[in-house]
Structure 1
Amino acid sequence: MSTVDTQSLMLQMRSLAAQAQSKPVDPLQGIQSVEAAGKPENFAQLLNSSIEAVNEQQNLSKEMKESFERGDPGVELSEVMLQAQKASLSFQAMTQVRNKLVDAYKEITQMPI
């Protein structure tokens, strides 16, 4: 079993964090925009594609973790950790969207007619 140089790992993580902070993040990455598609996309399709994108992030994270645990030489710990964070953040964002949708639904159902 190989040992991990913690100082080197920390330096890599700090440099990756600095890179992540300097780049603007597209929250809809992986989702095809309405203009690019050339056809209008309804809300259900947009929500479904968002959920599928989150699922892909989760599956990729799982696969990378399993590859790292098997000792695959092509998988670095830093890559595994970054993908796990991406999957976690995308899931948290999806959860927040769901919460807002539930709140909006409750508000609409309580409106007087």
Structure 2
Amino acid sequence: MDQTSEQGAAAPGMAARIDRMHGRDRIGALVFVLVLWCVILFVLFSIWPNINNGAIRTILAICGAGVLVLNTAAIVAMLRHYESDKQFIYSLDLMHLDEMRRRKRS
């Protein structure tokens, strides 16, 4: 069997592996954003009664909202980029993982 037919036979398996890896990364990123929102809001509501200065409350609320909005936007942008370029990104990762496994077995 020549190399082109071997690559063609491996391509469907590689595509499935790429989709699985991308799916896990997507879930991980979404869980991270959800946990980030929960933690920031928990901290804000936990310390809110202890802050008597209105200016400090405003600054904390604005900064907390800024952290949440910017981090959420960054994760969404990353997920969109990964979706459009996942074949390139994940095929390299899988190639290196396969090579590390081969070396470990040797």
If the length of structure 2 is used for normalisation, what is the TM-score?
0.41
Bigger RCO of structures 1 and 2 (CA < 8 A, at least 6 apart): 2
> Greater helix percent: which structure?
2
Larger Rg: 2
